[in-house]
Amino acid sequence: MEDTNAGLAAHIGRQPIYDREGAVVAYELLFRAGGDASGAVRTDEHATARVLVAAFTEFGVEELAGAKVCFLNVTKQFLTGVLPLPFDYSQAVLEVQVGVDVDESLVAGLTVLSERGYTIAIDRFRCGGPREVLLPLVTYVKIDMLDADEATVRAAVAVCRQYAHVELVALRVETPEALRLAFELGFDLFQGHILGRPHVDTTVALAPDRLARLRVLSALTADDVNLDEVVALVSQDPALSMRVLRATNAATFGLTRTVTSVREAIVAMGLNRLRQWVTLMLVSDLTTADHEQLARILVRARLCQLLAGSSDYPAAAGRGDTAYLAGLLSAVADHFGVPVDRIIAGLPLDPELPAALSTGAGPLGEILHAVRAYTDPDHEDHHLEPGVIVAAYLSALRWTTGILGELGPEIADRAEEHIRSLSAA
C-alpha cells in the first residue's frame, strides 16, 4: 500500500530471533512509518504506542508471531506506569532501551512489572554502566555484536554470567565472524541481518476519530462510569469497535471467550483495561478518519440493528446488538475491498457471526443480505416491503448524522487534563 494511504494502513517491522539450533523462537516488533521503510524514524512514546496499538489491535499478535514471544522496545513512561501496558504479559518481552535513565523510579517500575509477570530485557548492554543494577530483574540481555570490539563483548558476557537466570541475546549479528564469536561465548539467542532482516508487515486499518476517542476517555474517567454510555460511544466509532474486539484477546490473559456484541467485548475486557487501550490509542495519534466513510459504515450497522428489532425477522428478536456488530464488520470489509474472513481473522467472535458474515447463514445472514442489497446500487435483491426498509434506512441515516454531528470541537475538560498529564509526565 502506498504512503498516500497511510491513514488506512498499519505498518510494523518484524525481525526474527533464533536459538542455537537455528529455529525462530521470537520476533522483535519495530516501529515503521510506511510499508517501504527500512528503519525507525523515531523511538519515543509515539513510536512505542504505534507499535503496541498496531500489534495488538490491528494485526493481532497471533498473526504476527503465532505462539512465539515478541520483544517490544518501550520507553521509560511505559516501564514506570505513567503510560499503560494493557495486554497479556505471556507473549511480551519489554526492552529497556539505550538512553533510558536508570533511577529509583525505573527500578521500582521494573520490579512491579516483574512481579506482575512481565518479562524484561536490556537492550545493548555494556558492563560498567548504571544498567548493571537492573540485571537481577531481567530475563534477557542483548549485547551488540556490531559496534563493540571483542574485548567489550567478552567483558559484558562475563558480568551477565554472574546471574544464572539471564539469557544472552547476540544483537546485530551481521558477519560470519560475529556469529562464530557469539557461539563461542555461549550466547543463547541470535538476532541480526546475517540471519534475517526485518520484514515490514502491512494491514488495513480504519483510523478511529480522535475526538470520539476523547469522548470515550472522558466517559471512562467520570466519577460514576455509565456502561451504557461507554458502549454507545465505542459502538459509534467503527475503528474503535474493531480495535476493542481484537484487543479483547490481549486483555483477557488467556481467557477463552467469544463475544456477540461490542458490549460483551467491553465487559470481557473490563472498563479499566478499556481506559488503558483508549489512552494508548490517543498517544499513538493515528490519522483522523473520513466522516463520509464512517457514515456509510455506521448506516449499515444501525440499519441491521433496526431490522433485527422488526417483525420481519422474528428469529433475530432481541439480537439488535449482535446485528449491529455484523453490519459493522461487513461494512468495514466492503470499505477496504477485502474478504470479510480477513477482517474478522483473530477476532473473538461467537461462531454465529462468522457464519453469517461469510456464508449468509441464519437470520443475521438474511439481514445482512437485505441491507447490502438495499444500500448497494448494484443490487436490488431484497424481499422487504419498501416502506419497511425505507423507514429503517431513514432512521439509521438520521441517527448516523446525529452521531457524526456531535464530533465537534468541544472536548471534555477531564479528558484534556488526562492527556495533558500523560504528556507532561
Instruction: Tell me: do 46 and 58 sit in the same domain.
Output: yes
Are 170 and 229 within one domain? no
pLDDT tens-place string over residues 167-215: 999 999 999 999 999 999 999 999 998 887 766 655 555 555 666 776 7
Cell of 80: 514506570
Tell me how far apart the alpha carbons of residues 114 and 43 are, in angstroms, rounded to a whole number: 23
Same domain, 135 and 215: no
Q: What is the CATH number of the domain that holds 385?
A: 1.10.3210.10
Quick one: cell of 92? 511480551
Is residue 412 within 8 A of residue 215, CB to CB? The reply is yes
Per-residue pLDDT at 408 = 46
Q: Is the dihedral of CA 409, 333, 9, 418 positive or negative?
A: positive
Q: 70 and 39 in one domain? A: yes
User: By residue range, what is the domain housing residue 194?
Assistant: 3-203
Shared domain for 105 and 127, answered yes or no, is: yes
Specify the pLDDT at position 350.
Answer: 83
Q: Are 251 and 360 part of one and the same domain?
A: yes
The span from the CA of 386 to the CA of 404, in Å, is 27
Domain match, 197 and 227 both: no
Domain boundary among 203, 224, 250: 203
Of 159, 174, 203, the position where a domain reaches its end is: 203
Are 188 and 249 contained in the same domain?
no
Q: What is the CA radius of gyration of the chain?
A: 24
What is the spatial distance between Cα 367 and Cα 143, in angstroms, rounded to a whole number? 58
Tally the domains of the chain: 2
Same domain, 381 and 419: yes
Give the distance from CA 103 to its chain's centroid. 30
What per-residue confidence (pLDDT) applies to 270?
Answer: 87
φ, ψ for residue 171 (rounded to 5)?
-100, 145
**pLDDT recorded at residue 5:** 34
Query: According to the model, what pLDDT value does residue 288 have?
Result: 42
Cα–Cα distance for residue pair 2/380, rounded to 1 Å: 35
pLDDT score recorded for residue 190: 96
Residue with cell 519495530: 30
Q: Which residues contact 315 (CB under 8 A, 6 or more apart)?
A: 362, 363
Q: What is the pLDDT of residue 118?
A: 92
Do the beta carbons of residue 194 and residue 168 sit within 8 Å? no
**Residue 168 belongs to domain with CATH number:** 3.20.20.450
361 and 228, same domain (yes or no)? yes
Specify whether 375 is located in the same domain as 322: yes
Place of cell 457471526: 353
Output the tens digit of pLDDT for each of the chain's 425 residues: 333 333 455 567 788 999 999 999 999 888 755 434 333 334 456 667 777 766 666 666 776 777 788 898 888 888 988 777 777 677 789 999 988 999 999 999 999 999 999 999 999 999 988 999 999 999 999 999 998 889 999 999 999 999 999 999 999 999 999 999 999 999 999 999 888 776 665 555 555 566 677 678 778 867 788 899 889 888 888 878 888 887 786 654 455 568 888 899 898 888 888 887 777 776 664 334 456 776 788 889 899 999 997 877 888 888 888 898 898 889 888 877 778 888 787 777 888 899 999 999 999 999 998 888 887 765 555 455 556 677 888 888 888 877 666 554 343 344 444 444 444 44
Contact in structure between 299 and 397 (CB atoms under 8 Å): yes
Sign for the pseudo-dihedral over CA of 42, 43, 44, 46: positive
Cα separation of 258 and 322, whole Å? 12
334 and 293 share a domain? yes
Last residue of a domain, which of 184, 203, 222?
Answer: 203
